[in-house]
């Protein structure tokens, strides 16, 4: 039997147009949206533009709380599923074995009551499947074994039995899936799911308080929400395989600076969230959350007595229902306009790939004006060294930095994780210099030099001082004091590629187009020379020589007191705590660098190349920042463990504190 003709041409044209659009945006940001574009630039397959009939599976985790389970299932059955088939899987953990006969019979009766209830429970929206275990496995196994996706189009909603759901929840979830999973313009491989609970917790010790404006209804946050979490298939499979590997090798989900590490040390394998938190931190993934105001949420935990609570604590939020609606819950903002927050609830900006001077200007516009910009050259630098450097930046609270390097998966992955990067190949093409760098054994060195001179010029124009460093350096403390001499506009380290350009009227007069052209000409003259002239093909060598010709004020420093070169001798003897920087030969092997750094306690990444700790703003540094403000313009609020300690003035410095700088009305 011959069916009707299918018209494939419109579908092909739509798919082709979408592919071209995605490919064009893969490397670049439109200047008009550079400050807010969070779209991933890391190559990753987008599922499809055509909405399939995706599968939605509700996994209810139950144990011995019949009243809680009854309330939960009633709320699930009251939801509007829009005519879709939705499957219900009930996972009932077995009671723990006991030699005490007096406790066995009550547990048996309790288990039978739960089984009788779920057997009789009517689920009219799809399949109902009951999994009753033969032994007690606990909360971790309940979560981890609840679901293995059957395809990339199956989504799981994991529900603990003391939750209650809004009748609106599925309408919202389906809208989110269609907008952020199946819509190519809103898709990001960094998103692992959707949480329906109210965000109320910051796991990073001493992290920021969750504060969102009334207009923010959707945002992204790294923390998994265990009180009503929708899981996307690919990230969950990735997590399970990651978990299996780390568990088999005896690794622990330790992440210093996170309260989850304390949970794990106390409860061990009874809980699963420290494992998932560690996985999310290593991958740089995020979760979609709602901000519905007035402590409302689509999923509410009644916090009944159980594994997490010794006694019932009551509902954590107010359930959203239609009669309380004062906004359209189904109105979705584009992904490019949403805010992203890390575990300490600090805002991050994924997807910043700079390809030209205009985009660099947009990026600098949203940097912190009180800080210098660190420009880091990643040519020839391994992923491990780059990630270790970034961990030390976080420890030192260096937030103003830009990474530059050739287009690569690792560079785009850094951008996906929220690190601002410059695609040097496209950047140099935009200023007409790519031909000069396209050939020869020194092409990477030349690219690095040329990109640096244009970035410095843009930074000076935008009133930023700039530290320029190569990837074979590691900061161990702040370099601010090295640039304090008011008479110097530039600072040069002769023996390694460290350079400082101050934001000043005199440096701005020197670093103009003509000076840039001089540097370009010098680089071009050296690029064809023999290997004996190679040492002169150095950013510091060339720039220092031309600055001296201009009569620029160049500061000098005792390099031996500033830095230590690692790679020879005894590490602990050659490195002292007062050294602000270590550096090494670019010829040094990664294994040797790692060995030295571990001996010096400077290796801060694990086997996943992720930081072993999450750092908060140091107290002293926070106060230094605060005092930089004009006191008649702002109030300073210090916050300690017991809340607000003092507003303005002095503070008791015992313990850890946070700082808030509030504009005076």
The tally of CA atoms less than 13 A away on the side-chain side of residue 67 is 6
Bridge partners of 154, per DSSP, are 55
- Retrieve residue 415's tokens: 């951008």
Q: Which domain holds residue 631?
A: 624-664
Structural domain tally of the chain?
Answer: 3
Distance set, CA 347 to CA 340, 603, 663 (Å): 6, 26, 19
DSSP state of 312: -
Residues 6+ apart with CB under 8 A from 159: 58, 59, 60, 61, 72, 76, 165, 228, 299
Q: Are residues 197 and 179 in the same domain?
A: yes
List, for residues 186-235, the tens digit of each pLDDT value. 999 999 999 999 998 899 876 778 888 888 999 999 999 999 999 999 99
Per-residue model confidence (pLDDT) at position 102:
76
Annotate 324-352 with DSSP letters as a single string: G--S-TT-PPPGGG--EE-TT--EE-TT-
In a domain, 25, yes or no: no
Residue with tokens 């709602």: 290
Same domain, 124 and 102: yes
State whether 358 and 252 are in the same domain.
no
Nearest to 621, CA basis, from 202, 204, 206, 201: 206
Q: Per the domain annotation, does 195 fall within a domain?
A: yes
583: Cα within 13 Å, side-chain hemisphere? 18
> pLDDT per residue over 474-520, tens digit each?
999 887 665 556 789 999 987 888 999 999 999 999 999 999 999 99
Kindly state the average pLDDT of the residues 151-178: 95
* Of 547, 351, 372, 354, residue with least CA distance to 469: 372
**Which pLDDT score is estimated for 501?**
95
Q: What is the pTM for the complete model shown? A: 0.81
Query: What was the pLDDT predicted at 663?
Result: 39
Taking the C-alpha atoms of residue 175 and residue 181, their distance in angstroms, rounded to an integer, is 10
Whether pLDDT at 642 is above 60: no
Per-residue pLDDT, averaged over 40-57, amounts to 57
DSSP assignment string, 253-282: ---BTBHHHHHHHHHGGG--HHHHHHHHHH
| Whether the predicted pLDDT of 574 surpasses 50 | yes
Residue 79 domain-assigned (yes or no): yes
* pLDDT of residue 602 exceeding 90: yes
Within this chain, do residues 79 and 160 fall inside the same structural domain, yes or no?
yes
Q: Are residues 436 and 306 in the same domain?
A: no
Quote the pLDDT of residue 622. Answer: 39
What is the model's pLDDT at position 559?
Answer: 81
Distance CA 579, CA 466 (A): 21
User: What DSSP character marks residue 629?
Assistant: S
Instruction: Give the end of a domain, one of 544, 564, 584.
Output: 564
Q: Is the pLDDT of residue 340 over 80?
A: yes
Q: Is the pLDDT of residue 296 over 50?
A: yes
Q: Pseudo-torsion of CA 200, 203, 205, 208, nearest 10°? A: -40
Would residue 605 count as lying in a domain? Answer: no
- Shared-domain flag, residues 130 and 246: yes
- 82 falls within a domain: yes
On whether both 191 and 92 belong to a single domain, the answer is yes
Domain boundary residue among 281, 313, 339? 339
DSSP assignment, residue 248? Answer: H
Is residue 587 helix, strand or coil?
A: coil
| Lowest model confidence (mean pLDDT) among 210-214, 573-577, 585-589 | 573-577
DSSP type of residue 204: B
Decide: helix, strand or coil at residue 603: coil
Query: What number is the average pLDDT over the span 54-60?
Result: 97
Report yes or no on 609 lying in a domain: no
CA distance 131 to 91: 5
Tell me, yes or no, whether 121 and 66 share the same domain.
yes
The answer to whether 184 and 175 are in contact (CB under 8 A) is no
What values do phi and psi take at 224, rounded to 5? -75, 145
CATH label of the domain that carries residue 509: 3.90.550.10
Residue 41 belongs to some domain of the structure: no
Q: In terms of domains, do 393 and 275 share one?
A: no
Among 310, 339, 368, which residue terminates a domain?
339
Say which residue, 28 or 545, is predicted with more confidence. Answer: 545
The burial class, CB within 10 Å (0-12 / 13-18 / 19+), for 288 is buried
pLDDT for the residue numbered 618: 44
pLDDT given at position 311 = 62
Start-to-end CA distance of the chain, whole Å, equals: 77
In this structure, are 390 and 473 located in the same domain? yes
| Three-state SS annotation for 559-572 | HHHHEEECCCCCHH
pLDDT class of 357 with cuts at 50, 70, 90 = very high
Asked if 87 and 228 sit in the same domain, the reply is yes
Identify any residues that bridge with 297 across adjacent strands, giving them in sequence order. 319
Q: Is residue 616 in some structural domain?
A: no
330 & 355 share domain: no
Rounded mean pLDDT of 574-596?
85
b/e sequence 227-264, b meaning 16+ C-beta within 10 Å: bbbbbbbbbbeebbebbeebeeeeeebebebbbbbebb
Task: Summarize pLDDT for 133-162 with one digit per residue, the tens.
Answer: 999 999 999 999 999 999 999 999 999 999
**Per-chain mean pLDDT for the chain:** 82
Confidence of residue 54 (pLDDT cuts 50, 70, 90): very high
Distances from the Cα of 399 to the Cα of 370, 419, 482, 503, angstroms: 11, 10, 18, 18
- Residue 45 to residue 78: CA distance in whole angstroms: 36
């Amino acid at each position: 039997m011959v069916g009707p003709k299918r018209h494939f041409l419109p579908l092909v044209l739509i798919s082709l147009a979408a592919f071209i659009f995605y490919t064009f945006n893969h490397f670049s940001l439109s200047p008009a949206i550079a400050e807010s574009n969070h779209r991933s630039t890391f190559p990753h397959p987008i599922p499809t533009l055509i909405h399939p009939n995706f599968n939605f599976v509700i996994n209810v985790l139950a144990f011995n709380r019949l009243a809680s389970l009854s309330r939960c299932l009633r709320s699930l059955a009251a939801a509007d599923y829009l005519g879709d088939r939705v499957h219900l899987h009930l996972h009932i953990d077995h009671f723990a074995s006991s030699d005490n006969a007096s406790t066995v019979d009550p547990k048996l009766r309790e288990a039978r009551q739960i089984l009788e209830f779920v057997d009789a429970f009517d689920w009219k929206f799809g399949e109902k499947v009951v999994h009753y275990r033969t032994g007690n496995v606990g909360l971790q196994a309940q979560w981890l074994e609840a679901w293995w996706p059957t395809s990339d189009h199956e989504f799981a909603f994991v529900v603990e039995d003391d939750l209650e759901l809004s009748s609106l929840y599925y309408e919202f979830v389906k809208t989110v899936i269609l907008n952020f999973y199946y819509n190519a313009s809103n898709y990001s491989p960094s998103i692992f799911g959707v949480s329906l609970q109210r965000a109320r917790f910051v796991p990073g010790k001493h992290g920021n308080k969750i504060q969102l404006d009334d207009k923010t209804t959707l945002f992204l946050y790294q923390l998994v929400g265990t009180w009503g979490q929708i899981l996307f298939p690919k990230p969950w499979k990735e997590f399970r395989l990651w978990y299996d590997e780390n568990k088999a090798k005896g690794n622990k989900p330790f992440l210093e600076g996170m309260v989850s590490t304390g949970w794990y040390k106390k409860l061990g394998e009874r809980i699963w969230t420290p494992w998932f938190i560690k996985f999310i931190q290593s991958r740089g993934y995020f979760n979609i959350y709602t901000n519905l105001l007035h402590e409302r949420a689509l999923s509410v935990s009644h916090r009944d007595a159980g594994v997490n609570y010794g006694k019932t604590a009551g509902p954590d939020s107010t359930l959203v229902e239609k009669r309380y609606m004062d906004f359209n819950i189904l109105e979705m903002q584009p992904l490019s306009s949403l805010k992203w927050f890390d575990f300490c609830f600090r805002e991050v900006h994924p997807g910043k790939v700079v390809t030209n001077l205009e985009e660099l200007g947009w990026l600098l516009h949203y940097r912190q004006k009180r800080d210098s910009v660190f420009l880091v050259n990643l040519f020839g630098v391994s992923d491990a060294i780059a990630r270790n450097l970034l961990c030390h930046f976080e420890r030192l609270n260096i937030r103003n930095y830009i990474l530059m390097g050739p287009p690569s998966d690792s560079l785009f992955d850094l951008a996906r994780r929220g690190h601002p990067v410059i695609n040097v190949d496209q950047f140099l093409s935009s200023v007409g210099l790519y031909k000069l760098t396209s050939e020869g054994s020194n092409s990477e060195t030349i690219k690095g030099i040329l990109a640096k001179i244009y970035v410095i010029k843009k930074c000076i124009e935008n009133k930023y001082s700039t530290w320029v460093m190569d990837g074979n350096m590691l900061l161990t403390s702040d370099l601010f004091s090295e640039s304090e001499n008011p008479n110097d506009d530039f600072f040069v380290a002769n023996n390694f590629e460290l350079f400082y350009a101050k934001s000043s009227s005199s440096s701005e007069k020197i670093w103009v187009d003509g000076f840039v052209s001089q540097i370009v000409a010098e680089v071009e003259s050296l690029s064809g020379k023999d290997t004996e002239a190679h040492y002169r093909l150095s950013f510091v060598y060339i720039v220092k020589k031309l600055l001296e010709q201009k009569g620029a004020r160049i500061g000098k420093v005792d390099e031996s007191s500033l830095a230590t070169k690692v790679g020879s001798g005894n590490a602990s003897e050659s490195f002292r705590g007062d050294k602000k920087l270590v550096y090494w030969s670019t010829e040094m092997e990664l294994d040797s660098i790692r060995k030295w750094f571990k001996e010096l306690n400077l290796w801060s990444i694990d086997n996943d190349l992720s930081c072993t700790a999450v750092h908060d703003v140091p107290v002293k540094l926070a106060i230094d920042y605060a005092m930089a403000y004009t006191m008649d313009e702002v109030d300073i609020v210090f916050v300690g463990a017991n809340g607000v300690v003092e507003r303005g003035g002095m503070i008791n410095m015992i313990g850890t504190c946070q700082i808030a700088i509030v504009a005076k009305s």
